[in-house]
Structure 1
Amino acid sequence: MTKVLQVSAELFPLLKTGGLADVAGALPAALAAAGVEPRLLVPGFPAIRDALTNECAVAPVALPWSEGRAALLRGRLPGIDLPVYVLDAPGLFDRPGNPYADAGGVAYADNHRRFALLGLAAARLAEGVDPAWSPQIVHAHDWHAGLACAHIAASQSRRRTDARTVFTVHNLAYQGLFPHDHFADLGLPSQHYAVEGLEFYGQVSFMKAGLHFADAITTVSPTYAREIQTPEQGCGLDGLLRRRADDLHGILNGVDYGVWSPVQDTALAARYSADDTAGKAACKVALQRECGLAERPDAPLFGVVSRLTEQKGLPLVLEALSDLVDAGGQLVVLGAGDARLEAEFAAAAQRHPAQVARRTGMDEALAHRIVAGSDVMLVPSRFEPCGLTQLYGLSYGALPLVHRVGGLADTVVDTTLEDLAAGTATGFVFDAFTADAYRPALRRAFALWSRPEYWARVRTAAMRQRYGWDTAARRYADIYRNLMQS
């Protein structure tokens, strides 16, 4: 049984800023079911450290700089049915704010040290510092774990490990870029700072470290794997990705239906299923009441659960908001981010209190209630590696309205006449990233809503879609086996 160490900066249900945490929380159990022996390595952020039980010290981790201390602990975390390694370094991780920035949203100045040490800890585990368990594969997730691949490459050159590495790109736009003079803090051989290494236009790139040094690269949907090999979406790394095309695999993320299913979701006012959707109406009324909207069952309710950024396509929602409101729709927005977008959604809620509601931050239970109570989930992203919100919308019968990119293109079927007739339509899709392309998709949503019999058919087709982690886990297991045999 292949031993695989999953390395991630976030972990649901304890620490989440986005979809990375959902993946890190759900994938290990699916891998175990696929015949893999997984374990996790996560930083010792307060939420992680406080929840750790049955802990034991594994080994100290020597810091590449002079001050501070760090150690690897092994223990158990709630909701995770396997041993977990925690990198305990209070001077680096015991801080307020989110994992990457302070309470004011300013990135920590020593993030390069914090996540270089995470990669170094992964390499130490690959070298066998825990006599009870040593990984054959180290699977690093996103830029925060990218240096695991570089550190393991350095360990291989010193003949300290023969572990292989897999690097998963969750979002190429976030690359972990730092000034070149920070390289001295990373604990890597000097030759690693090169074009064939971490150097990226005079800076250090943690993302490039993963892409260059990993034995295999994956990303989170087939379409995104193709898109990032183009100058338009390659973020300056498309040349490297094209050179490594044979090692690049697009594997669609899954949904943990133990968490995201209206059949058993305890956060909802009522539960429901594709065969009995009566509870969805109760969820909608409850959401309208909770958010102060007019309690109108005849008004289509549109939901947004997202970081409020331009990348997520929210300027399109604002530009066409009068279309939605004038047609009698309602909108609930949950999220935080760009100050201008926050202010514009707040102003819209003030202008149209019966039709527009805004909630700030990230409230997991409210996110579930919004998906359950909405008729449509808006995910009009400029680019979207995979997207999980549209998958949650499908599960809960909130038809996704999406831009045809990345994982959105791979998972939502437009309500064309042909797909309506075939029973395969599951949402609304537009092609160009413009308000002029978004508006017709919005109008199609209202048109379908005006024909309840057709709406019910599409909703049922959506709810019967299944994007479980079992399929993705089998693909990952195949990659691990191929690396072990190469």
Structure 2
Amino acid sequence: MKLLFAASEVVPLVKTGGLADVAGSLPKALTELGAEIRIILPKYEAIPESYAKQFETIATFTVRIGWRKQYCGLLKAEIDGIIYYLIDNEFYFRRGGLYGYGDDAERFVFFCSAVVESLFHMDYKPDIIHCHDWQTGLIPFLLRTRYANDPVCRHIATVYTIHNLKYQGVFGKELLKELLNSGDELFGSEGIEFHGAGSCMKGGLVYSDKLTTVSPTYAQEIQTEHYGERLDGLLRWRSQDLIGIVNGIDTDSFDPMNDPAIEVPYRDAIARKRKNKLALQREMGLQESESTPLIGIVSRLVDQKGFDLIEAVLDSIVSADVQLAVIGSGDWHYEEMFRRAAERQPNKVAVWFGFNDALARRVYAGCDMYLMPSQFEPCGLSQLIALRYRSVPIARETGGLKDTVTPYNEFTGSGNGFTFTNYNAHDMLFTIERAIAFYNNEDAWKQIVANGAKDDYSWKQSAKSYMSIYSELLSNRKENNSWPVI
């Protein structure tokens, strides 16, 4: 089984969010199950020199974008046992960031076209291309339309993973027609038309043989109007090919027993974990106290993550016997909210704006509870990392949070966290207060932490589910390659 992962970011080369963790960790687990796997992504300026210098150019060719022919270099290196390819074009990718540019449509049309063209130049013939999020959505579309009759491409199956349906790569119809050098024929009911514009993600949703998303609950949610981002009808139509598989984490990297970023190694001993809590309190300027519950947050500070709920009851949270340690950046409004709270209560609220991986790990290790009141959460990795570090999640029951955080039941002793259903600030506040009450019950708290320690947060089970999808595609390749040639 030969797989090619196409993604816009991959750990350890470059990362802005959870997509990179998935695209970097899942291939390792698949390799352990016997798959042969390689990964392709853009050659960004942000890739550290220590990695970039290991790549060698194996081919150069041109890619047609509109009326222009653009240079493309194909580079290759083996890093930590995985072979990576980079798509090189300095005009598109030698920039300070990965996304957010005015020509992102052109940049990722180029990337998708270059990935398909690279199939004619690389020393690898994949059985399946696994694409991730909107930046790669046009790859299945191109394979099933422009390259459908090409002998190199026509037998390649495709899997498309939705990491977050909210971000769809929607651009003007005329712009995409120009970039794809096409007419209206690509924008019919079986094309990429999206409410008068064009959607890169829709290319993946319509033309991939199988669709996956990152939790079973999110797979159901996105088929509803509330969560479907105007694609729910299409997703219901493809429901037989849509599968939700919970993400895992790299348990070798996120291991409190062997994490050099934290003060005191530990596994299940709460006493040793609380030494990390005292160290974190010192580092972030909070009052040192083992008995005061510490709530951690490591997140983008945006509406999706539920910060409007926190804003509504922040004074009530802070007035309780609790501390907050926050790492993140995002909307200025929420940054100001936490900045003002830290100024008013410096012994109880500490904030670090931006992202610092080592400090984030110390927050996971040092906090007692981890707060995730998300509006929606396709999977979420933070609650899995928190559980791995024996911190107890407080989460809203949505998406992957519902699939991975089970509410504590004081009558049966089951459950690894605390949850609330309605998107309501006072429901969240009640749940926080309930968690604090059980924190003050040492026996109950030890039971909750022990329950979380029993779960397997690795990629092992999820990788088996992906392997099952790949095997089905290979055994039924002809039936699955049934999309019309446009």
Task: Give the match for residue 75 of structure 1.
Answer: 77
Distance, in Å, in 2 between the alignment partners of 1:330 and 1:212 is 47
Q: 2:306 aligns with which of 298, 307, 313?
A: 313
Cα 1:90–1:449, aligned 2, differ >3 Å: closer, same or farther?
same
Q: Does 1:289 align with 2:282?
A: yes
Shift of 1:360: 0.8
Tell me, yes or no, if the aligned pair for 2:57 and 2:73 is still in contact at 8 Å: no
Q: Which runs of 5+ in 1 are unaligned?
A: 101-106
Task: Give the match for residue 482 of structure 2.
Answer: none
Distance, in Å, in 2 between the alignment partners of 1:147 and 1:434 is 38
Distance, in Å, in 1 between the alignment partners of 2:190 and 2:305 is 32
Tell me, yes or no, if the aligned pair for 1:11 and 1:20 is still in contact at 8 Å: yes
* Partner SS state of residue 180, structure 2: coil
Q: Does 1:140 align with 2:131?
A: yes
Distance, in Å, in 1 between the alignment partners of 2:404 and 2:181 is 40
Q: How does 1:343-358 map to 2 (within 5 A)?
A: 343-358=336-351
Distance, in Å, in 1 between the alignment partners of 2:107 and 2:221 is 30
**Deviation above 4 Å: which 4+ runs of structure 1?**
none
Tell me, yes or no, if the aligned pair for 2:87 and 2:115 is still in contact at 8 Å: no
Shift of 1:185: 4.2
Distance, in Å, in 1 between the alignment partners of 2:31 and 2:335 is 41
Cα 1:188–1:222, aligned 2, differ >3 Å: closer, same or farther?
farther
Q: How does 1:151-190 map to 2 (within 5 A)?
A: 151-160=142-151, 161=153, 162-187=155-180, 189-190=182-183
Aligned residues: 470
Distance, in Å, in 1 between the alignment partners of 2:6 and 2:467 is 16
Tell me, yes or no, if the aligned pair for 2:408 and 2:416 is still in contact at 8 Å: yes
Moved more, 169-178 or 277-286: 277-286
Distance, in Å, in 1 between the alignment partners of 2:12 and 2:178 is 32
Distance, in Å, in 2 between the alignment partners of 1:186 and 1:283 is 53
Task: Give the match for residue 25 of structure 2.
Answer: 26
Distance, in Å, in 1 between the alignment partners of 2:322 and 2:142 is 53
Q: Does 1:247 align with 2:241?
A: yes
Shift of 1:323: 2.3
Distance, in Å, in 1 between the alignment partners of 2:300 and 2:326 is 10
Q: How does 1:463-478 map to 2 (within 5 A)?
A: 463-478=453-468
Cα 1:342–1:195, aligned 2, differ >3 Å: closer, same or farther?
farther
Cα 1:485–1:189, aligned 2, differ >3 Å: closer, same or farther?
farther
Shift of 1:155: 4.5
Tell me, yes or no, if the aligned pair for 2:256 and 2:266 is still in contact at 8 Å: yes
Shift of 1:475: 1.0
Tell me, yes or no, if the aligned pair for 1:304 and 1:379 is still in contact at 8 Å: yes
Q: Which runs of 5+ in 2 are unaligned?
A: 477-486
* Partner SS state of residue 336, structure 1: strand
* Partner SS state of residue 340, structure 1: helix
Distance, in Å, in 2 between the alignment partners of 1:155 and 1:369 is 50
Distance, in Å, in 2 between the alignment partners of 1:188 and 1:256 is 41
- 1:400-444 Cα deviation digits (max 9, x unpaired): 0000000000001111234xx2x4311100000011211111111
TM-score, normalization: structure 2?
Answer: 0.94
Q: Does 1:457 align with 2:459?
A: no
Amino acid at match of 2:283: E
Q: How does 1:11-410 map to 2 (within 5 A)?
A: 11-48=10-47, 50=49, 51-52=51-52, 53-65=54-66, 66=68, 68-77=70-79, 80-96=80-96, 98-100=97-99, 107-126=100-119, 128-130=120-122, 132-160=123-151, 161=153, 162-187=155-180, 189-190=182-183, 191-274=185-268, 276-410=269-403
- 1:294-327 Cα deviation digits (max 9, x unpaired): 1111110001100000110112122222222221
Task: Give the match for residue 103 of structure 1.
Answer: none
Tell me, yes or no, if the aligned pair for 1:426 and 1:458 is still in contact at 8 Å: yes
* Partner SS state of residue 444, structure 1: helix
Shift of 1:59: 3.6
Distance, in Å, in 2 between the alignment partners of 1:188 and 1:20 is 30
Q: 2:417 aligns with which of 424, 427, 432?
A: 427
Identity of aligned residues (%): 39
* Partner SS state of residue 426, structure 1: coil
Cα 1:217–1:108, aligned 2, differ >3 Å: closer, same or farther?
same
- 1:61-88 Cα deviation digits (max 9, x unpaired): 41314264222111134xx421101000
Amino acid at match of 1:136: D
Amino acid at match of 1:412: V
* Superposition RMSD in Å: 1.5
* Partner SS state of residue 70, structure 1: strand
* Partner SS state of residue 258, structure 1: coil
